């Protein structure tokens, strides 16, 4: 995070040295874009946090432990609810593993958690349009199942 | 019908604020009147998301603005355009894996890459790499799930999202343009690069080139 701010700062200074007016125009453009998506972003984050609060780690442990197709598909389904960054996904997955979730379930859960997001779809559609967003999420869901299936073969 | 058409834009502008206010209200209620663990959890996770957003998104959007103005279109086209071929893949993966932050931070970057002439399949490969195999996150994954699991997952995921990118690009019409976030009324339109998709020159056949 700090690195990102440093890089941005250096880039702005270099840009300012090269051309003041161009820099001003570009920074205003970037901030306008940010301002434009901010309300939608806040709404989606609000929605995700409400759903996240409803799904407790204990519940997940209950439905995702054990082996077989049921926990596997449940993991895919729950993982698809929202796009989650790794720092939420990994600790949760670590907890699930301690409670006896299988490799397939864990891989399906992590991959779909990071790549498929139904609640975050409006945000994605704002940038890419509904067609691309729906297609990307659909394919990513299939991909998550595939990753999990291969993982079982690699790590018995 | 007319009322619905009028109500929809109002709903669209209002629902995010209602949502945030609801979570804030729930949190405040649980915090000060006691009781509801649900409200506390919702408020805490929203707070976490907001901090994360405030840390990552402003510099990200500033960089996108600079990228838009300074990086020439030919540069992106040469390294990641429709004619760049497979050599673009390592570039996209590298670009994505060194970044941190949630996937929604990658959406605006992906759109501006796309508009600069990056081929759609490379845009999707970038998104795939960003979502599933970031280097800063790898140490984190190893800590919770062990290096065997992390390594296997990363190596298995890589080809999968490359295939997803290629398939997704094939499913879209050649002249498809993402709407982008600034395509609202009064904002600069996304129609700067409307020229038809460039046709790649096929590689010269080994036997044919000599004849001239």
How does pLDDT run across A68-103, given as a tens digit for each residue? Answer: 889 999 999 999 988 877 778 888 888 888 888 889
Query: Which chain A residues are Cβ-neighbours of B181 within 8 angstroms?
Result: 33, 36-37, 126-127
Instruction: Please indicate, yes or no, if residue A47 is contained in any of the structural domains.
Output: no
B50 and B113 co-located in one domain: no
Query: Which chain B residues are Cβ-neighbours of A56 within 8 angstroms?
Result: 41
Q: Give the rounded percent of residues in chain A with a pLDDT score beyond 90.
A: 62
Output the pLDDT for position B199: 56
Total count of domains within chain B: 2
Of residues A25 and B210, more confidently modeled: A25
Classify burial at B117, counting beta carbons within 10 Å of its beta carbon; exposed 0-12, middle 13-18, buried 19 or more.
buried
B189 and B144 co-located in one domain: yes
Q: Report in angstroms the alpha-carbon separations of B120 from A91, B141, B199.
A: 33, 29, 14
Instruction: Please indicate, yes or no, if residue B204 is contained in any of the structural domains.
Output: no
Q: What gap in Å lies between CA B62 and CA B83, rounded to an integer?
A: 29
Range of the structural domain that residue A24 is part of: 1-38
Per-position pLDDT tens, chain B of length 212 = 667 777 888 888 888 898 899 899 888 888 888 767 888 888 988 999 999 899 889 999 999 999 988 999 889 888 888 888 888 999 899 888 887 778 888 999 999 999 999 999 999 999 999 988 888 788 888 999 999 999 999 999 999 999 999 999 999 887 788 887 654 333 343 333 444 445 565 544 444 444 33
Total count of domains within chain A: 2
A16 and A61 co-located in one domain: no
Query: Which chain B residues are Cβ-neighbours of A14 within 8 angstroms?
Result: none
Instruction: Please indicate, yes or no, if residue A132 is contained in any of the structural domains.
Output: yes
B76 and B165 co-located in one domain: yes
Range of the structural domain that residue B34 is part of: 1-57
Instruction: Please indicate, yes or no, if residue B207 is contained in any of the structural domains.
Output: no
Q: What gap in Å lies between CA A131 and CA B194, rounded to an integer?
A: 20
Give the residues across from A66 on adjacent strands.
A101
What b/e readout covers A64-99, taking b as 16+ CB neighbours within 10 angstroms?
Answer: bbeeeeebbebbbbbbbbbbbbbbbbbebbbebbee
* B166 touches A: beta carbon within 8 Å: no
């Amino acid at each position: 995070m700090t690195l990102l701010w440093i890089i941005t700062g250096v880039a702005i200074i270099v840009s300012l040295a090269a051309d003041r007016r161009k820099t001003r125009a570009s920074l205003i453009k970037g901030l306008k874009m940010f301002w434009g998506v901010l309300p939608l972003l806040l709404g989606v984050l609000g929605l995700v946090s409400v759903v996240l609060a409803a799904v407790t780690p204990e519940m997940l442990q209950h439905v995702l432990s054990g082996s077989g197709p049921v926990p596997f598909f449940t993991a895919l389904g729950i993982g698809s609810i929202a796009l989650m960054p790794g720092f939420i996904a990994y600790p949760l997955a670590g907890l699930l593993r301690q409670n006896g979730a299988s490799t397939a379930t864990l891989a399906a859960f992590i991959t779909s958690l990071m790549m498929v997001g139904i609640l975050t779809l409006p945000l994605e559609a704002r940038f890419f349009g509904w067609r691309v967003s729906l297609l990307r999420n659909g394919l990513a869901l299939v991909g998550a199942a595939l990753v999990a299936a291969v993982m079982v073969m690699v790590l018995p | 019908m007319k009322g619905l058409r009028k109500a929809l834009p109002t709903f669209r502008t209002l629902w995010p604020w209602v949502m945030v206010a609801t979570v804030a209200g729930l949190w405040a209620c649980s915090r000060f009147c006691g009781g509801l663990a649900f409200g506390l959890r919702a408020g805490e996770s929203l707070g976490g998301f907001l901090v994360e957003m405030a840390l990552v998104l402003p510099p990200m959007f500033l960089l996108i603005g600079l990228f838009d103005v300074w990086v020439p279109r030919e540069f992106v086209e040469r390294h990641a355009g429709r004619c760049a071929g497979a050599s673009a893949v390592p570039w996209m993966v590298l670009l994505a894996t060194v970044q941190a932050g949630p996937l929604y931070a990658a959406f605006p970057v992906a759109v501006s890459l796309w508009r600069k002439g990056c081929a759609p399949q490379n845009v999707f490969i970038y998104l795939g790499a960003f979502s599933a195999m970031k280097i800063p996150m790898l140490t984190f994954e190893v800590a919770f799930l062990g290096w065997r699991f992390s390594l296997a997952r990363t190596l298995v995921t890589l080809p999968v999202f490359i295939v997803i990118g290629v398939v997704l690009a094939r499913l879209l019409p050649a002249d498809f343009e993402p709407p982008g976030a600034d395509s609202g009324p009064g904002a600069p339109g996304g129609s700067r690069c409307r020229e038809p998709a460039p046709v790649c020159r096929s590689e010269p056949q080994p036997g044919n080139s000599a004849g001239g």
